Amino acid sequence: MTRPARARINLPALQHNFNRVNQSAPASRVMAIIKANAYGHGLTRIAQALPRADAFGVACVSEAITLREAGFDRRIVLLEGPFAADELRLISGYHLDVVLHHREQLAMLEGVNLRRPLDVWLKLDTGMHRLGFEPSAVPEILARLDHIDYLGERRLMSHLACADAPEDDYTTNQVELFRNTVESLAGECSLANSAAVLAWPAAHFDWVRPGILLYGASPLLDTTAAALDLQPVMTLETALIAVNTHQKGARVGYGGDWVCPETMPVGIAAIGYGDGYPRHAPAGMPLLVNGKRAPLIGRVSMDMICVDLRGHPEAAIGDSVTLWGEGLPVDEVAASAGTIAYELLCRINSRVQFDYFE
């Protein structure tokens, strides 16, 4: 038996989730966000399965080049723009769009002369206070851009801080500030992340930028993915490689943190933090053994985890263990690990075997 840790990637589920974007924001074009290896799902395979995405959003040039070299000629947007001036030739050569969020980046643009038109997305800070220009600086920035003769199309964007909380005034205010700022300006606009695609129609504008919802996790607090008609794309599974009976009082795993309250069967499953599974997963975190819930016990090791099999007297070596996905929402697992689905998904690494189903 080869090591059984694998991620089953359900591409029809991805397409179903993409259709949810079209249903929710029918008038908007879609920039599918596939940074961080498509949230851990595999950059090029996910891009290939999204033929109706109008553009792709990535975080860095190397992600964009991977797509170009795989043959994608669609619009690709570098969501944080250039990190240094010496990236600009590569960016132009690969025909990538850049976000501009800082005067430092404007200076980089002013310091080179590119042969091809460069399309830019001017990023405004409407309240996230992470990246972007003050809306009041827009006239000054546009004037500087006007002097760059290789400049191509110019778009405007911003990012929402609290769109996961429905009816939060903070989002209403961000939408309003963005709308007021862009109203009198030419060029397409973009504001909505996944949460806003589903919950904030006023934020849709010309382009929406869904990420997490494409992968089937819920972008909204207090609403499950199933209630939003989203389907899980990644099912992370492995198998039991040992089943042992331990006596009452036996200590399980590194540090001996977990103590058997009675004589009981303990399963060992082949996955661990070396695969990107969260090391801080607490005892009691849910798993499925043969499709039925069982709690994690003991500390997560690099290659293995321990499972309380008291509810599974029939469990045997080779039986399937599901960490999340079909039958166990990644959002629920994330909540019990004190994190969010985004982090669990994008940490899964290539030591896990990825199998794609069409």
Ligand X SMILES: *Cc1c(COP(=O)(O)O)cnc(C)c1O
- Closest separation in Å from C-beta 158 to ligand X: 9
* The total number of residues written for the chain in this structure: 358
CA dihedral sign, ordered 273, 316, 258, 310 = positive
Residue closer to ligand X by CB (options 15, 238) is 15
Chain residues 146-185 in contact with ligand X, contact rule CB under 6 A: 159
Residues whose CB falls within 8 Å of the CB of residue 340, separated by 6 or more in sequence, listed in order: 331, 334
- Closest separation in Å from C-beta 144 to ligand X: 22
Q: Select from 210-218, 234-242, 255-263, 297-305 the region that touches ligand X (CB under 6 A).
A: 210-218
- Closest separation in Å from C-beta 313 to ligand X: 41
Contact indicator for 114, 86 with CB cutoff of 8 Å? no
| Total of chain residues touching ligand X, rule CB under 6 A | 11
- Closest separation in Å from C-beta 182 to ligand X: 16
Q: What CA–CA distances, in Å, run from 222 to 70, 165, 286, 338?
A: 38, 8, 19, 15
Is 219 a residue that touches ligand X (CB under 6 A)?
yes
- Closest separation in Å from C-beta 26 to ligand X: 18
CA 168 to chain centre: 23
- Closest separation in Å from C-beta 119 to ligand X: 16
Q: Select from 64-72, 178-186, 203-211, 244-252 the region that touches ligand X (CB under 6 A).
A: 203-211
Instruction: At 177, list the tokens.
Output: 């500030």
Paired with 192 in beta bridges are: 208
Instruction: At 352, list the tokens.
Output: 């896990």
Measured at CB, which residue is nearest to ligand X?
Answer: 211
Largest interatomic CA distance in the chain:
77
Q: Candidates 28, 194, 238, 322: give the one binding ligand X (CB under 6 A).
A: 194
Within 10 A of 355 (CB to CB), how many other CB atoms are there?
Answer: 12
Residues 287-316, mask of contacts with ligand X (x by CB under 6 A): ------------------------------
Q: Given the structure tokens 């695969």, which residue do they identify?
A: 275
Residue closer to ligand X by CB (options 125, 237) is 125
Q: Where in the sequence numbering do the catalytic residues fall? A: 35, 254
Is 33 a residue that touches ligand X (CB under 6 A)?
yes
Q: Candidates 46, 64, 212, 270: give the one binding ligand X (CB under 6 A).
A: 212
Contact indicator for 304, 271 with CB cutoff of 8 Å? yes
Contact indicator for 131, 120 with CB cutoff of 8 Å? no
Q: Candidates 4, 42, 210, 232: give the one binding ligand X (CB under 6 A).
A: 210
User: Considering only CA atoms, which of 16, 24, 21 is closest in space to residue 202?
Assistant: 24
φ, ψ of residue 52 in degrees (nearest 5): -100, 5
Round to whole Å and give the CA distance between 152 and 146. Answer: 10
Contact indicator for 325, 352 with CB cutoff of 8 Å? no
Residue closer to ligand X by CB (options 99, 287) is 99
Residues 69-108, mask of contacts with ligand X (x by CB under 6 A): ----------x-----------------------------
Residue closer to ligand X by CB (options 258, 324) is 324
Binding positions for ligand X, rule: CB under 6 A: 33, 35, 79, 159, 193-194, 209-212, 219
